[in-house]
Structure 1
């Protein structure tokens, strides 16, 4: 099979329809100038073969293959190739009957390409299969050797060379197909896994479910049959009972009527006795009224009047006491305020003194800085005047300073001489005295040792006293602190009691209901268990809680019951048991929605505004959990009546909005069980919310507990310090005694002759040290003066430069001093202003203290006045109480007289009550019997109706009623309990009803269908798995054959590779060897020899030789399994003419069964071709002409032969 002709239309540079005809079956060459369209002929062949890598045809998209990319009016490219298929051994699979095959491919701009084989549309895969079957795989084109292909082969790695051998052997197609099959197997495997998953997760559970439903359905049918049987039995029993009732009711009714008549007779007798007793009691009452008269009423009126007067006097006394207590609280507050102001005054005075001290220091510093500034200015003036500063900072001329240095040198020398003389004398005296001192007497030694022992004992006692860590000041401080704390506690307790007196309803007093009572069971009133986060919302919170604010919280309902029964509560309380209370809270979503309507800062849940212990959560939700607090009425109205919210809300002013449509306004929102508590709460709410006052009480309580705790600590410290103090005083007394003894011994030692000699020795040693120091000082001063003199001499020599330098230094010093003086002045002014401000504050504090003293004096007078009034009123109350007591005694005497008459009346009344009870009992029995008679009559009528009805409803009763209740029958009511049967029937009916809702009546059919489908699916799955194993086995067998084929191909290609390379480069050898793994299947590498020398690497060859190696390999592979067509595109570009000529001859000699289409620019190559095509570029379009060279070469060879002859 070979190419006969090519038709190009609109392809690349061939704008017009161009036909390249009459290709030679063996060797064709194409030549022409660069850019004339030579390679486009080869590109058109690759285009038809179905190339997918467009870069090999020098394009990026299919549109680039159209002439000028479709911009010149030509919008499609068409290429048709006619193949000669007369040689059936090279015929593609399926086309053996065709002598010619025409393959066409066209591409339209903006559209996909399409293929035609012999004028019939086919797919891309069909075309590729056609060409791959004859070794023309354009996507792995080893039959196509393009420009640069030689270099590519040279750069190939062993696996890539192996791929070329595979392509030549024809196993590459197998590998492609194998990969496709493996991918298909992977896909099928995933589908199998999906099927397995479906089986496991869906089908198997469905089958199991259907099996369960079938079992449930069978159970349901069984229960229905049992129910029908039991229902028949129960109906029979009900009929039997109704019939029995109908028959037996007549006798029972007669007996009951007789009993009623007997009871009515007994009741008439009792009524006569009661009437007689009534008349006797009435007569006795008349006699009592005559005897007693109106004395009792008069005594009761007198007692009532005395009690009214007493209550009025006591109320006035209580009110006056309350006023007295208020003044006392006011007095305590004023005293505390005065103490606080006194402390602040002392602190402020100390602060003023401290600031004044700082002010004085700043003034001194400012004066120093001003003096330094003046000195710096003076020094600058002196330097400007030609003077210089000496070591003492004084201004003088250089010559004057040199004179001073000379004087200092002379003075130092004189001092040194005098000191040396004095030193010599002292040393001489010291030696003399030391010899005398050695003769010390024994008495002095003994006293010296005693003194040292006493000092040691004193030191020991001092250490013991230090270890005690006791100071008298510490004890005094603790005593003073105790006194202050006691005073503070007394004041706080009075303040707390005063606040508690204002709000007595906050106290919850009760008696322990039982022994070993745990007070923790009772938590207390709600109001005392909360802390308000923001006091501005206290009024609103009071409105939210209402009367619940004073409810008592306990742990359980048992505790509440004990309190109510045995707690001796003084007033009514509502108890909240934590374990029983059911609280409801506004949902968070509703609160969030309300906040979105009113604004986040304008609305809060009441519960969120109080702090409480977590154990009280339920109770607090019950009190505060169902109400929202808004900042004003508009927001409250908007939130409360919104259909999505509809929740009660309260404004900060206490106005309540209820979703029921009610609105409450005002200040008093508290309700209690008695009027007094309500009045107290309303009165307190008019001034300030009770919760804000409650916070004040809690603060006072906390402070009181803190002070009491501190007092306990101080008292403990004092108790522990008492023992330490006694020990300390004992040690101190011993230390003082030892000190006196040591002092006497010291005086004795100081008055001895030995001590005087010791003092003289010390004085001499001191003199020697002073003289040595004077000598050293004199030497240093002399050296310093000499150094200064030298410096001055140098300055005199460089007078002008030194003056300039000193002037600069003086100016710098002046600037620094000026800055420092300005800073000091500013700091001084700021401090003066601060002192003035503090002085003003101090004056204000003094004025406040004076005002406080005046108020305290006025309060003391008011307390004295109230106390006198309270005493007078207390005396008045005592008098009224005596009157009340007297009236009560007189009334009691009169009641004793009346009691004597009442006892006789009571006896008669008791007897009459007894008769009435008997009468009522009989009347009750008669009513019961009458009721039973009516009931029995109704039951008899119902039984008769029931019998009739059941006979109509259940026809089978008439035929089987003779068996009802008979032994050894289906209706034996004694052997089988009818009540149990009724209960079982009810249970079965409930069970059937419950199962009837869930039972699947189609489960039987569905199960059989599903099991059949399941079996079919499993069978198909097994078939697929079996096919997979067969395919894998076939692949394994084909892999073995592929390896064998590759081995044959390698040996054949290796042989031809060496032969072709030797032809192209005489005297050279070449072969393909296995790569580093020594396995040909892992890759192959080149091995070249020039002469008898084998080269280690291709880099040792020249460029032309390397090109011949690559070309030899390509041609050797072509020889193994020749393709029908080979295309070479300027493969001789890197070769010289001799090599090119050899290629042409080699192609003629070695390739006699394949068609070659070669593009070349060298005569040596295309001169060997049988047909030569020349391309030209005319008017922007490529053209082509044909020249048959076989005849020309024949003529040339005959001419050469004749010339030789």
Structure 2
């Protein structure tokens, strides 16, 4: 796509329309004097291509593009360029393949709008820019445009700017712009996505939920309105129908009452005749009665005997009272005795404790005292020429020796007797044992059986002990299981009654399939948590509303299974795997507590206890609300801009941010949570009972096999024991058994004789030693006395010293222990006396009991005589009572007849009044029917259906009370709904749901668009990278070739910056002369640097030629030879592109095919065309 014609009018120095026509398809040059306006032609091309950087066209505003900025009467600038589109399809812009030419026109008006036209059709800036970018022309990053100073600018470019030139040459720059635009679009879409999500979550969803609730309330309200009308009509119809029935009934009863009254009148006349006849009979019986003197005699005799019995009974009672008092005295004495014994036990324990603590001190003191007495006695005896024995008595040595010899002789005699008796016993015992062996041989079988049975019994008892089974334990467990089952039945019945009154708390379902895990169904929400305090019940019920009776399940699949199996009633389920919860954040809760106080506002979750597994369900119900103490606080928090959430007061007022207030006072007895709180103990008790029953049944199951083994072993043991007892009975009176008893007695006597010998022998040895010792003392009596005296004096001194040491504590210890011993002795004496006294009292009790027994026989005799007199009197009285009975019977019969007469008269009066009342009722009910027909006109049409089975007026199970209750319940519900009902909820909900669906679709589309954009960016980024690497390789090769051609011996290349892996991080120019690299371009001359820049530009032009190129005095810094070389190179090597060159040097534009010369005449620029003829 090349330029064929340029038309400018009112643009810069071109005040009048000027046409640059017939541009050459290859090389065009524009020349002219400075200031003639030759560069303005290039500016007009850039203006039309949509340049945004006005500095490149050397102006500061669009107004400066208009000739003399509109001051010469020209107010608009217009540029029109005709492009040749007769090129291969791949070089044509998309959508314009059918056009041979494309005419683009751009016009700007002073302080007005900027317009584009393509082939005469208005177009946007973006559309024109996209069209040019498709053919590789981007005027805002133009590699095709080399203006004045571009060479210098290229030399000063940074790595990323050079990379930008490569991108433009590779044709990926347009993609980068599109990418940035797409990222901005994604950013906008993300903002929109966030806004839509916020609208859905914070506004639309809550609004839809609220409107659903309001719609449900509205539908319920309308339904109740219709029901009220039906119930009202039914009550009126029942009133009319009942009145009609009452009229019939009243008329019927009036007739019946009249008939009954006539019959009663006849009965009264008949009773009067009977009363007269009975009164005559009674008079005859009274005359026949005669009492006489005999009865007086019998009564006097009975009285005497009764007095005698009373006296005997009194004496008997006195004796029994004395016996009772004596027994009470024994009881009191027995209690006193027990008290003394307890006190004695306590005192003895105290004495034992004291003796263990201070007994050693007492013993030391007593030992010292006794030693002192013995020493003094011994000194006194020695002073008398005597000594002391073991008891401390003064005796002579001779007396001591004699006494000791006597004791020794007694012990020796006892031993000899025992040995003689032992010899006799052993002989007898040996004989008895021989006899027993002979007898045992004859009765050995029974003994063998006995030993065998004893061994078997021992083995069975050992096996029972090892079995470790207790029959009593199993019986206790059975009783406990029965008691627990009965208690569970009572609890379950109470719960059934409670759940029957509150049927929504019960959730019964059929097991969907075998193996279904019932723990997947968590239960009714109301039963899954417990309140911390009862005062929060009303608020929590208002917060939860109908969701209090929702069913919590683990996942959606469980709900589907339950629905397929069928449910007895309609319920709402909360699957934990699909439930989401809107929860107030901690910032809102904290702000609320700071506003009204910690104790005045509560997050519902904090007021209940529940299992963690159902937390999501709990939060979905209680998570987006606050509970306040009163209405003022609730209102303040609801409408605070930082909190702005639903609040509920403890008394049940419900504040919503939408401005709706509902609720008010609720009866405490109507609270389901309070009722659940009271009955919850039954649920826990049932769980506890089930656990205990399970444990009991497990224990019983464990004991069952043990019981079977125990029964078997115990049965065997009982049989064997019976057999053993039988054998023992047989053996008990046998000669062998008698012999064994005798042998046992003899063996006891042998043991006794041996014991005497063993006990006496040490005494004999000691006494023998003592005799020898005394005989030795007697031989040297004088020395013995001196030695005894010294010993006694030493013992006396030691005892006195010991007593002196214990002087302070011994007396106190002695007194303390002596006092305690005296108390114990006194208690022992008292106990002994009490026991003796109790024994005497018991003897007296036995004596009194014998006396009372004897006296009882005497009293019984008197009672017999009294009884005999009573029988005689009773016999006489019986005859008298018979007569009196007949009189009383007649009197009673007469009274009964009179009573019946009075009752019949009263009944007659009652029947007459009932008849009048029935007639009156019939009249009133007739008036009531007339009034109802007058008030309710529909009765005339509908009354034929009143009371018809199956109709709307079926009264089979109906009563006025039932109808009134139903009507009152619905009126109360209507009154309650009126506070919250929203008639517009139906329409509003549809609108809100449509809005929600629209926003959800938009959000889904935004997600889809964003993903598509990211995918496209990712793919194009990779394609861009590939294209850039290819372009860098080709442009570097061309750059080096062109620079070597323009400056022989030199080379140049584009390389990535130091440390970079590839060209994507930027590109730098590296120049070498004769193979030696230069550190920077600053080492080159101005001409060399210009050639570097020009070579780079030409290399880029050669990589991907644009349709046309514009060069503006790029040869300004070059000498003539280089200028000519550049011209020739363009002509010879860039024939595929169109060049439009501005130059002042003839060596350059002489190589052009067409030369346009610009002159400035009469204040405006004029263009003339010249063609160069080249041979």
TM-score by length of 2: 0.39
TM-score by length of 1: 0.38
